[in-house]
């Protein structure tokens, strides 16, 4: 019986977030963010050691995502080096702050925080994302 409970807990902890996902949050957008952030390097560490993994996730970003999808918290911040887990973190964060937003806004929120889509500093980041999406086609 304990084994069954353990398997159930592990399944819940690793199940992808099933909450509302912005329609503009496509696999192409997620792939472009990953490419721009780390060139697909799962072991990437940036921003003076503050950002980790293929999506360059900061601890504060991870905590925000965990508040939206508590199942993420069971793994710990270091799991952001794992591509599938890191992608779930990004999906949760952008689902939390990007409801009804365009792909452009979502990318800018990823780069600049919850109000990143309003910051002129994130416009250049969007250009990089857009280029990555076009080059993939």
Task: Note the pLDDT tens digit of each residue in 81-136.
Answer: 999 999 999 999 999 999 999 999 999 999 999 999 999 999 999 999 999 999 97
* Contact indicator for 81, 42 with CB cutoff of 8 Å: yes
Model pLDDT for residues 49-89, shown as the tens digit of each residue: 999 999 999 999 999 999 999 999 999 999 999 999 999 99
Which fold is adopted by the domain 23-136? Answer: Lysozyme (1.10.530)
pLDDT on residue 136: 79
State pTM to two decimals. 0.85
pLDDT on residue 78: 98
């Amino acid at each position: 019986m304990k084994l069954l409970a353990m398997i159930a807990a592990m399944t819940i902890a690793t199940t992808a977030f099933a909450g509302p996902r912005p329609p503009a949050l496509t696999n192409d957008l997620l792939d472009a963010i990953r490419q721009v952030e780390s060139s697909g390097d799962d072991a990437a560490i940036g921003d003076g050691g503050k950002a980790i993994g293929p999506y360059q996730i900061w601890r504060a970003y991870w905590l925000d995502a965990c508040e939206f999808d508590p199942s993420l918290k069971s793994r710990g911040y270091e799991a952001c080096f794992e591509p599938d887990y890191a992608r779930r973190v990004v999906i949760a964060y952008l689902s939390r702050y990007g409801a009804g937003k365009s792909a452009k806004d979502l990318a800018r929120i990823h780069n600049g925080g919850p109000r990143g889509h309003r910051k002129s500093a994130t416009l250049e980041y969007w250009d990089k994302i857009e280029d990555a999406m076009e080059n993939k086609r």
